[in-house]
Amino acid sequence: MPDGSVINGEVAIRSADRMRRAGADVVKLEVHSEAVIAIVERLTREGFRVMAHLGYTPQGGDGGRVGGSLDGAYALFASARQVRDAGAESIVLEKVDEFVHRALVDRPEALPSYAIFSGKSETGGQSLNIWDSVFKPGFRARYFPPTARETVDAFPMAYSAIAIAEHIGALLSLTAAGEFPLSPPTLLSIDDVVALASSDPWAD
């Protein structure tokens, strides 16, 4: 849901209802505060299917990667449990350390998950951005989709249906082959990784 669409419960209900009437199956909320978790709960009570976006949440002013320490990992796990208990049916993990991502989602009790710039996992999916598959960012980005070859000044000519199909098709192929995404080196120690592997992130 766009920035500003969940400033309170009433606005969130109206925003989600407009999206559902326009054909949305699920609404995705960036969860960056206890107030947003309360909105997740309210939306699910009203019959909306909710996907919770955890990790990097720019609408909340958070930046950088998440889970570079055990404390950061355990905080993310706590947020995942909170959104599950509030009724979210799935999660998106953005810019999360790959070991933390795997520890959270590669479990039978985990919510269905989709990763963005969070490496790979055995059971989780990937969220692939059509725009990012076509256009390069305005900064050096080692882990960005390798299919992005156009600069934004080529819009809209470079954003035709044919170009979109070519770029996202190539990115899907790379993802299916395990060649995308790459993941930045972890900041966790070996002991941290072992501790994560032996933890139960979905248990209170």
Per-residue DSSP letter, 66: B
Crossing angle for the helix pair 70-86 and 98-105, to the nearest 10 degrees: 40
Cβ within 8 Å of residue 115, ≥6 positions away: 92, 93, 94, 96, 101, 121, 124, 125, 126, 127, 181
Place of tokens 């990784």: 193
Q: Is 98 a catalytic residue?
A: no
Query: Residues 94, 98, 109, 166: which is the catalytic one?
Result: 94
Is residue 69 within 8 A of residue 76, CB to CB? The reply is no
Residues annotated as catalytic are 94
